[in-house]
Amino acid sequence: MTALRSTLFYIYMYGLMVVFGIIGTPALLGPRSWARGLLKIYLKVIWAGLAVICGVRFEVRGTEHLPEGGALIASKHQSMWETLAFWGILRDPAIILKKSLIYMPFFGWFAVKLGNISIDRKGGSKALRQMLKDAKKRGEEGRQVLIFPEGTRVSPGENPDYKPGIVGLYNAMGVPCVPVALNSGVHLKNYCGLKKPGLIVVEFLEPIETGLDKSQFMETLHQRISTASDRLLEPADRT
């Protein structure tokens, strides 16, 4: 039954991506707000289907920790779900994505139009400098820059070291960093296949102030995200 529900949701999700991509193509020619509005509608329809087909819903906590204006958001990463969900949860995010994703039909087109930040992981220091430049600009525009500091999706209960790019962003942007805990991997596989029905929780945590040195910042960020994410796991899912 779980495999069947996953298959049905994949058909639903990717089918809607094609439909919305085709009918929404004119939005790519207008202001960015058109594409953002269309994406929010798409996400509402997608998550309604996820609830009906898979029995998975989500809840957002701690939004009082989100500052007005530009901010750096550092989130746990367990599924493709949050890569999409933050476009609806945050006001106007600029998400740091693998460069390869911008070449995907429909998804990539809108990712570019929405002013997200792509990074070539093989581009070395040049790619990192460009990412920092783009992120600083987005922050100055009052947008929230989102990064997954683990660099890839991890299983619930896994807490690997973070990639150094998050420190560069913290220093370059000069704004507080808001950690985010979540438990999407308890209920969904990497590409949103169903593990088990239930409630996904996304929790914004207390911001980390500016001015910390590298080791203080990394230790504080890792501790806050890991502790809160592990707390969101059900006892049977702890490793």
74-90 pLDDT, tens digit per residue, is 999 999 999 999 999 99
pLDDT tens digits for range 80-122: 999 999 999 998 999 998 888 887 777 788 888 999 998 887 7
Of the listed ranges 79-88, 115-124, 140-149, 198-207, the one predicted with least confidence: 115-124
Would you say residue 238 has pLDDT above 60? no
The residue extents of the domains of the chain are 58-237
Task: Quote the pLDDT of residue 236.
Answer: 45
- pLDDT at res. 239: 43
For residues 147 and 234, the model is more confident at 147
In the predicted structure, residue 8 carries a pLDDT above the cut 50: yes
Question: How many Å apart are CA 190 and CA 84, to the nearest integer?
Answer: 12
The DSSP-derived string for the chain is -HHHHHHHHHHHHHHHHHHHHHHTGGGGGS-HHHHHHHHHHHHHHHHHHIIIII-EEEEEE-GGGPPSS-EEEEE---SHHHHHHHHHHSSSEEEEEEGGGGGSTTHHHHHHHTT-EEE-TTSHHHHHHHHHHHHHHHHHTTPEEEE-TTSS---TT--PPPPTHHHHHHHHH-S-EEEEEE-HHHHB-TTS-BS--EEEEEEE-PPBPTT--HHHHHHHHHHHHHHHHHHTS-GGG--
* pTM metric for this prediction: 0.91
Specify the pLDDT at position 217.
98
Percent of the chain with pLDDT over 70: 97
